[in-house]
Amino acid sequence: MKPIIGITMQPVKGAQQLNQRYIESILAAGGVPLCIPNTTPIGAIISRLDGLLVIGGDDIHPKFFDEEPHRALGYVDITRDESDIAAINAALSQQMPLLAICRGAQVLNVALGGSVYQDIPSQLPQTIQHKQASSRATHIHTVHVVAQTKLAAIVHSDSIMTNSFHHQSVKDVAPALIVSATTSDGVIEAIEHPDEPFCVGVQWHPEELHDEASSQLFHAFVEACHH
Ligand code: MN
């Protein structure tokens, strides 16, 4: 049986929506995509899934990592943050495979006790471009993959080209997580949980890329969801 992959959604003005590309990527990797709403409690939904995909979106409220709002903080939605954090904790409590993308990777880090840079341009002014003006399928920067990580085993390479659409990034890595990729400026581009069967967060948007590494990432995730 194909595994059922719950995909979180993006709240928009009283509705919730999901970029079609996430659905297509899970389908292409052999999974059954199931849209799950932002809601708490969310444990009853998570327990019925075989895997959890936490999608990208707006900023995380800094109260979840004990900071005041930076002047360049973007739009935040506490209800969504709480739903994502609860979903991540529920999934990890049952060793459920989890793939977290962009904001999802940041929320994964915060859910486990880490923090994020609230605004890369002002807090890390020397970085390369991380909020690209180019199309979503354009590979804009090189991501250096840390050897002997799960990500390295998945993409079979020490560097890949990715897109980049973020003004926040992981700052203090949660105690349970490790860094599995960075850009040349030191910005953290991927994290993972070495003690979980599959718990990977990537700062880029593999669902928008049509390349080998992105396909390998989604296939490895869906494969891990077979139990
Ligand atoms: Mn980037």
Q: How many angstroms does the Cα of residue 37 sit away from the middle of ligand 1?
A: 27
Q: Which residues of the chain fall short of a pLDDT of 50?
A: none
Nearest to 176, CA basis, from 109, 115, 103, 224: 109
Q: How many angstroms does the Cα of residue 197 sit away from the middle of ligand 1?
A: 26
Mind listing the pLDDT tens digit for each residue in 182-191?
999 999 999 9
67 has catalytic annotation: no
Q: What's the domain range around 157?
A: 4-224
205 has catalytic annotation: yes
Q: How many angstroms does the Cα of residue 40 sit away from the middle of ligand 1?
A: 30
Q: Among the options 102, 141, 199, 225, which is catalytic? A: 102
Domain count, the chain: 1
Q: How many angstroms does the Cα of residue 2 sit away from the middle of ligand 1?
A: 32
Mind listing the pLDDT tens digit for each residue in 29-74?
999 999 999 999 999 999 999 999 999 999 999 999 999 999 999 9
Q: Among the options 189, 207, 208, 225, which is catalytic? A: 207
pLDDT of residue 133: 97
CATH number of the domain to which 142 belongs: 3.40.50.880
> pTM here?
0.98
Cα–Cα distances (Å) from 138 to 101, 160, 168, 181, 205, in that order, read: 17, 13, 20, 19, 10
207 has catalytic annotation: yes
